[in-house]
């Protein structure tokens, strides 16, 4: 996989349903037409994350159907939904086996082969904190879980359940949770401190590693010792000397050295999880700053070391967040997409983002409503993704650029975020107006090789036909003068 890779998240069940409608026949992972894989490959992705391939929980589906809050979400996202549209949460895993409805293990292997033939990797989910309440482990290995008592079952509603397969009953087990929210009632809380569970998970992950090229680890920070102890106290038992991830990741990488670990992580714990062995960690802080904070907060965010930034996962949309065009507005979403996609690190895109989908679909639904394709957005993303295939974004040096005021103008230059990629004589200059008003400024670009009177050509690859011809001495002395419309983004190829 290239440095600073591009990854495309697909809601697998929904995507296959859409393909089945498109081709008027059932489509599973075992029967995806090659032309569909070619369409994916045409976006230039390094990997596809097929979210939600593992076997769904029958009990989890029952809970999802009956949950009143979820029913409200279904009504919003899919008016007139039917019970068969509800498939249960992909994060209440029944077993780490590819769901037969989606094509099973053999189907996933065929899909992976199609991707590999086009030099595209495959990423799957791993949910470390919990499994479904009806996972076989709850009866076979109750020591893997946080156990409770009959008194807990009676006195703490919605926090504990009794393991059962409908015939046999077992231990009282805690429902999965994080320390700041109510329990997820379709899940069983594993015990991160259990040596038996840790050993078993290494085996399970090695099995997953034979089926894909990497995993996205759900809520990875919940397994950190101090967080787990804060959440579960004495119920968890004695904390091991070694962090969960420091034990599990090296054990997997010893057998699968190139297997990729990506962490969904919050609470400013990104650096910690990188030190524990993760190759990439979510950059939710950047998302929040792009959406809610002033431009200087974004600039400050990008002052972190390049090693740290190169291990971040940048995005303006994924299945947990609102659709980008809803959260940022259409123009704002494109400005945010250029920033997040052209920075160092892994760049994550969400299926439907390029087409301008607006409806955030609950993960418990397997069907989504039709939405019109915004061809303007699709064309913009095609230009952006085509540009991001260029070598400077994967092999070049990254630097932030200063934006200075134009003589006699106001301080609107402070709303410009600018940075550059340089690889030998090939430069890319990225400039984005982060606000909803016009701005003016001069970009100072530190390239002594441009010295002299010969003109340099700055061509905006996002807006065909926009070209600046500027003598090199002028660029070095007073900078590249820009006037940017609200939320306008430019990427200049320089030659």
383 has pLDDT over 70: yes
Residue 321 has which token pair? Answer: 């967040």
What crossing angle do the helices spanning 330-342 and 284-292 adopt, rounded to 10°? 140
Kindly state the percentage of the chain with pLDDT values over 90. Answer: 88
494 has pLDDT over 70: yes
Nearest to 164 by CA among 142, 146, 143: 142
Rounded Cα distance between 147 and 196, Å, is 15
> Residues 6 or more apart from 226 whose CB is under 8 A from it?
none
96 has pLDDT over 90: yes
Mean pLDDT of the chain: 95
pLDDT at 425: 86
Name the 3-class secondary structure at 67: coil
- Residue 16 lies inside a defined structural domain of this protein: yes
The CATH number of the domain holding residue 299 is 3.20.20.80
408 has pLDDT over 70: no
Name the 3-class secondary structure at 180: coil
- Residue 250 lies inside a defined structural domain of this protein: yes
pLDDT at 466: 82
Residue range 189-203: mean pLDDT, rounded: 97
Q: Give the model confidence (pLDDT) of 142-185 as tens digits.
A: 999 999 999 999 899 889 999 998 888 999 999 999 999 999 99
Q: Which of 369, 393, 417 is the last residue of a domain?
A: 393
Based on the domain organization, do 186 and 49 belong to the same domain? yes
Based on the domain organization, do 366 and 464 belong to the same domain? no
Q: Give the model confidence (pLDDT) of 2-19 as tens digits.
A: 999 999 999 999 999 999
Distance between the two ends of the chain, CA-based, in angstroms?
Answer: 28
Domain region containing 82: 6-393
- Residue 381 lies inside a defined structural domain of this protein: yes
- Residue 238 lies inside a defined structural domain of this protein: yes
Name the 3-class secondary structure at 55: strand
- The count of structural domains within the chain is 2
Confidence of residue 135 (pLDDT cuts 50, 70, 90): very high
> Residues 6 or more apart from 12 whose CB is under 8 A from it?
29, 50, 51, 52, 53, 102
Neighbours of 164 (CB within 10 A): 14
Based on the domain organization, do 269 and 198 belong to the same domain? yes
478 has pLDDT over 90: no
Q: Give the model confidence (pLDDT) of 246-268 as tens digits.
A: 999 999 999 999 999 999 999 99
Based on the domain organization, do 20 and 132 belong to the same domain? yes
Based on the domain organization, do 347 and 249 belong to the same domain? yes
Q: Which of 393, 418, 446 is the last residue of a domain?
A: 393
Q: Give the model confidence (pLDDT) of 56-77 as tens digits.
A: 999 999 999 999 989 999 999 9
Based on the domain organization, do 112 and 211 belong to the same domain? yes
Residue 460 has which token pair? Answer: 């905006």
Residue range 424-441: mean pLDDT, rounded: 94
Based on the domain organization, do 449 and 349 belong to the same domain? no
> Residues 6 or more apart from 4 whose CB is under 8 A from it?
310, 344, 345, 346, 347, 393, 394
Q: What is the pTM of this model?
A: 0.95
pLDDT at 110: 98
The CATH number of the domain holding residue 437 is 2.60.40.1180
Residue range 312-318: mean pLDDT, rounded: 98
- Residue 1 lies inside a defined structural domain of this protein: no
> How many residues in total does the chain contain?
495
- Residue 370 lies inside a defined structural domain of this protein: yes
pLDDT at 165: 86
Based on the domain organization, do 379 and 415 belong to the same domain? no
373 has pLDDT over 70: yes
Residue range 389-403: mean pLDDT, rounded: 95
Based on the domain organization, do 287 and 355 belong to the same domain? yes
448 has pLDDT over 80: no
Nearest to 494 by CA among 432, 443, 434: 443
CA angle 248, 251, 255 (to 5 degrees): 140
472 has pLDDT over 90: no
- Residue 469 lies inside a defined structural domain of this protein: yes
Based on the domain organization, do 366 and 427 belong to the same domain? no
Based on the domain organization, do 388 and 424 belong to the same domain? no
Confidence of residue 446 (pLDDT cuts 50, 70, 90): confident
Q: Which of 393, 425, 448 is the last residue of a domain?
A: 393
Burial class (CB in 10 A: 0-12, 13-18, 19+), 155: exposed
Q: Give the model confidence (pLDDT) of 334-350 as tens digits.
A: 999 999 999 999 999 99
What crossing angle do the helices spanning 104-116 and 34-41 adopt, rounded to 10°? 50
- Residue 14 lies inside a defined structural domain of this protein: yes
Based on the domain organization, do 201 and 298 belong to the same domain? yes
Residue range 283-302: mean pLDDT, rounded: 95
């Amino acid at each position: 996989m290239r440095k600073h890779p591009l990854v495309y998240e697909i809601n697998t069940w929904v995507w296959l349903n859409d393909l089945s409608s498109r081709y008027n026949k059932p489509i599973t992972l075992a029967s995806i037409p090659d032309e569909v894989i070619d369409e994916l490959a045409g976006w230039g992705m390094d990997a596809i994350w097929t979210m939600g391939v593992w076997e769904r929980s029958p009990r989890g589906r029952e809970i999802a159907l009956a949950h009143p809050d979820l029913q409200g979400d279904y009504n919003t996202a899919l008016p007139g939904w039917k019970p068969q549209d509800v498939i249960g949460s992909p994060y209440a895993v029944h077993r780490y086996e590819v769901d037969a409805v989606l094509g099973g293990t053999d189907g996933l292997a065929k899909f992976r082969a199609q991707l590999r033939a086009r030099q595209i990797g495959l990423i799957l989910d791993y949910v470390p904190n919990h499994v479904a309440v009806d996972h076989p482990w709850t009866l076979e290995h109750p020591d893997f879980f946080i156990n409770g008592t009959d008194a807990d079952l009676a006195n703490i509603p919605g926090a504990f359940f009794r393991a059962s397969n409908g015939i046999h009953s077992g231990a009282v087990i805690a429902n999965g949770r994080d320390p700041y929210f109510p329990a997820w009632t379709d899940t069983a809380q594993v015990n991160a401190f259990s040596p038996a569970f840790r050993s078993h998970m290494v085996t399970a992950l090695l099995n997953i590693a034979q089926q894909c090229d990497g995993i996205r680890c759900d809520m990875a920070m919940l397994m950190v010792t101090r967080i787990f102890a804060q959440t579960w106290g004495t119920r968890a038992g004695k904390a091991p000397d070694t962090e969960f991830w420091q034990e599990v990741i090296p054990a997997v990488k010893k057998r699968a050295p190139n297997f990729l670990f990506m962490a969904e992580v919050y609470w400013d714990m990104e650096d910690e999880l990188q030190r524990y062995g993760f190759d990439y960690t979510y950059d939710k802080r950047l998302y929040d700053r792009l959406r809610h904070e002033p431009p200087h907060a974004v600039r400050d965010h990008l002052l972190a070391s390049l090693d740290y930034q190169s291990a971040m996962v940048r995005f303006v949309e994924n299945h947990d967040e609102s659709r980008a065009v809803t959260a940022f507005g259409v123009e704002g979403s494109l400005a945010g997409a250029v920033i997040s996609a052209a920075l160092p690190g892994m760049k994550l895109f969400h299926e439907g983002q390029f087409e301008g989908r607006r409806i955030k679909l609950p993960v418990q639904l397997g069907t989504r409503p039709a939405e019109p394709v915004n061809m303007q957005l699709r064309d913009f993303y095609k230009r952006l993704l085509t540009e991001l295939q260029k070598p400077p974004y994967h092999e070049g040096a990254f630097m932030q650029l200063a934006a200075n005021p134009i003589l006699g103008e106001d301080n609107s230059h402070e709303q410009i975020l600018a940075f550059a990629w340089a690889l030998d004589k090939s430069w890319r200059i990225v400039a984005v107006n982060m606000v909803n008003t016009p701005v003016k400024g001069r970009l100072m670009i530190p390239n002594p090789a441009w010295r002299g009177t010969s003109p340099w050509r700055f061509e905006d690859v996002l807006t065909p036909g926009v070209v600046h011809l500027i003598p090199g001495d002028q660029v070095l002395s007073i900078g590249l003068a820009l006037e940017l419309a609200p939320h306008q983004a430019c990427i200049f190829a320089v030659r």
